[in-house]
Amino acid sequence: MALQQRLTDLGYWNGKADGTFGGRTQQAVYALQKAAGLGRDGVVGPKTQKALDQGVRPEAKSNKGRVIEINLKRQLLMLVDDGTVSHIFNTSTGSMERYEQNGAMFLADTPSGKFRVSRQIDGWRHAPLGLLWRPKYFNGGIAVHGANSVPPYPASHGCARLSIAAMNWLWNNDKIPIDTRVWVY
C-alpha cells in the first residue's frame, strides 16, 4: 500500500491502492524506472527505491493548457496541465521495425510532432494491425489506446499503447477529450 500510494503521490498512475503488486503497479514502476533512466524490469530494487525516495518525476515540455505529451526516448505518456505533469504512464510506441501489410512494406514508427485528438471509438477497434481498446486517434490511424500487452520498450506499429485499466481511467474521467493537444517528441 505504501509503494502504491507513493507512486500515486508522484503522479505515476497505478489505480487505487489495494496492497497487491499487480499489473497496474508494475506499469507504474516501469514508468518510474523510465523517468529515472534505470533498467526497466518492473521490480522495486535498491535503485528504483532510491528514485522513489528522491521523488523522481519527468518534466513537461509544454506550458499552456491540457497537453498529452509522449516522450519517445523515455517511452512515457504524460498528462500535462499548464506545464505541470499530473499523471505519468508507461507506454509502448513504434518499434521502428519493418512490417508488411497488403503486400507493402512499412516502418513501425510513431512520428514526432504536434497533433490533436480528432476521433475516438468507445470499445474495441478491430484494426488491420491488431486490436485497439478505446482508441483516441491523433495522427491519421495512430492513436493512444489500451492493449493487453504494454511492455516497457517500443513494440507497437506506431500507436501509443497503455494498459486497458489506464485507458479505462482516462475515458471514465474524460482526460483526453476530442481536440486535446498531443505532442510527440
Annotated catalytic residue 157: no
Which is catalytic among the residues 87, 126, 145, 157?
A: 145
Which among 65, 99, 98 is positioned nearest to 84, based on CA atoms? 65
Which residue carries 505518456 as its cell? 77
Which among 23, 28, 26 is positioned nearest to 10, based on CA atoms? 28
Contacts 24+ apart (CB under 8 A), 35-41: 35/74, 35/76, 35/88, 40/152, 40/153
Annotated catalytic residue 159: yes
Rounded-to-integer distance, Cα 142 and Cα 50, Å: 36
Q: How many CB atoms within 10 Å of residue 83?
A: 13
Which is catalytic among the residues 87, 126, 157, 159?
A: 159
- Render 68-131 in DSSP notation, one character per residue: EEEETTTTEEEEEETTEEEEEEE-B-B---EEEETTEEEE-----EEEE--EE-SSEEEETTEE
**Helix then strand then coil, % of the chain, to nearest 5:** 20, 35, 45
The catalytic residue positions are 145, 159
